[in-house]
Amino acid sequence: MTTKLLLVGACLVLMTISAANAAVPKATCRGGSADKPETALQGQVTRAERESGASKAAAYTCNTNLVGQYQGEGASWQLTAWKNCAYYDQRNSPDLQHPGVVVVDVSDPKNPKPSAYLSEAAMVDPWESLKVNAQRQLLAGAQLNGPGFAVYDVSADCRHPVLKASVNLSGSFGHTGDFAPDGMTYYITPVRTTPSIIAVDITNVAAPSEILIWTAPAPQNPRFHDLTISKDGNRAYVANSGGPATGFDNGLLILDISDIQKRASNPQIRIVSSVSWQDGGAAQNALPVRIGGKPYLIFTDELSNARSGVGTWAQACSKGLPPFGFARIFDISDDTNPQVVSKLMLEVHEPSNCATILADPADTPNTNLFGYSTHYCNVDDADDAKVLACSYFNAGWRFFDIKDPAKPKEIGYYKPPGRGTQALPGSQYFGTAGPTFDRPVDWASSKPSFPKDRGMSSGDVWVTTQDNGFMVLRLNQGGGGGCSSAGLPSGLLAAFAATALLRRKLRKRAPRS
């Protein structure tokens, strides 16, 4: 009995210590040749794989299959979709044969092909603002660091969007943004200290006009990255992009935007709540979903706390913090007091694995930028979410079971192959690394698309990565969490194994009654 109590106590202590920095349980992959699983830490592309060319030879897969692909000239940051059509942006490069947003006809998922290119000023480089509104079947985007804004109708033929307006909005600086669910308002967020947000009236899609240009008051962080809007249009869930170099806290901001939704005269934006943290930086996006009937947010950080600016991964590690950004789940049943219920860390995020990760070579000539950080997530059904897909840059596409949001577990992944020195002028990764750098991995950065969010009842998951372009992925949901299901860092699993061995030895020595 004493031995059992000691073992239980040890487990509880280890679980308490590790709770803040624990990787989610690993996926159990298919056997035989069905998958090509990772060989090291969860998410990692090792030095040996990078330098031998193994990471360029074929994708690393677990419970996923590539159904179809259109690589094109590479992709930039964002993907959105409607019906049988996908829309993704490209890097703004003079070397592109077809500049602007690529429209992909996915009627045949095994053979996706381009059907149009959108080249208005806002679409030449909409960065992360490219979004579709399901209610009114509209596509829109805002020009990076410029005033351009364009809206298209995709209701008649999604393969050939119809331009409804291409205008300049005074005071606007595009970077990110999204529609209100009713499609009457588009919110632009510039990731600047001023303005924080530009609300655009698109009730008349032929004549977009600014409703409000607003800067968050001090001491609130005014640097708004991407945002999403509640179903009723009254709340904005904002990623407050911060970190040491910015001088602002990094975290989640919830705003009352009901005045804009109801078109009140002299509309005001009010702060409902704000939450910040130190184990992430360059906050990217907050996605509202319902799980088991309760409201949650899926939140992503683009970088680690130290890396968001001029810091390094090693500096984050020296503080005992994860070296990369990751996703986390908030319970917003009380939106005045959001509560973190889980963190979707991989083993590459665990500070205990820093020595291993920091020894890996860079994915660009001068430094690793994003590493294994996350960027965007999406769910199979925003009203009843069970499966979550997230882009994790070098770690590729990761799939999670979130039926129990407090205990998410990995169920699959797809890490596309590196493309070496292939010239891809539409790829931000290619543009960052340069034409002579041998790119050993790819950058997964877009928001994935599930059938329901593009108005379909069935289908596969659509994604882009920057060097591999547009891909149709099929997830085999037969996989599940493996032996790390206790939610412990991989470094502590050995401790449990040793404890179990000790227990067996004690049992052998104990006299029988």
Q: How many CB atoms lie within 10 A of CB 51?
A: 13
Return d(Cα 172, Cα 47) in angstroms, integer. Answer: 43
- The C-alpha atoms of residue 391 and residue 414 are separated, in whole angstroms, by 10
pLDDT of residue 291: 98
Q: Given this model, what pLDDT does residue 369 score?
A: 84
**260 touches 267 (CB < 8 A):** yes
Distance, CA of 200 to chain centre:
25
10-residue averages of pLDDT along the chain (513 residues): 39 42 93 95 97 97 98 98 98 98 98 98 97 98 97 98 97 95 98 95 98 95 96 97 84 98 97 95 96 98 77 87 96 98 98 94 84 97 98 98 98 98 98 96 98 97 98 83 42 42 41 38
- Asked whether 384 and 438 are in contact (CB, 8 A), the reply is no
Q: What's the confidence (pLDDT) of residue 477?
A: 80
Q: Give the model's pLDDT for residue 50.
A: 96
Cα–Cα distance between 345 and 332 in angstroms, integer? Answer: 21
Q: How far, rounded to the nearest angstrom, does the alpha carbon of residue 252 sit from its chain's CA centroid?
A: 15
Neighbours of 34 (CB within 10 A): 13
Angstrom distance (rounded) from CA 255 to CA 276: 15
Helices 2-18 + 490-509 axis angle, to 10: 180
Instruction: State the pLDDT at residue 487.
Output: 40
* DSSP codes joined into one string, 190-227: --SSS--EEEEE-SSTTS-EEEEEE-PPTTS---EEEE
For tokens 């090509």, name the residue.
Answer: 36
Q: Pull the structure tokens for residue 373.
A: 């950080």
Say what the pLDDT of residue 297 is.
98
pLDDT at res. 243: 80
The pTM of the full predicted model, rounded to 2 decimals, is 0.90
Q: What length is written for the chain?
A: 513
**Residues 26, 31: Cα–Cα separation, whole Å:** 15
Distance CA 214, CA 328 (A): 28
**H helix or E strand, kind and range, residue 314:** helix 313-318
**How far is residue 470's CA from residue 449's CA, in Å, rounded to a whole number?**
11
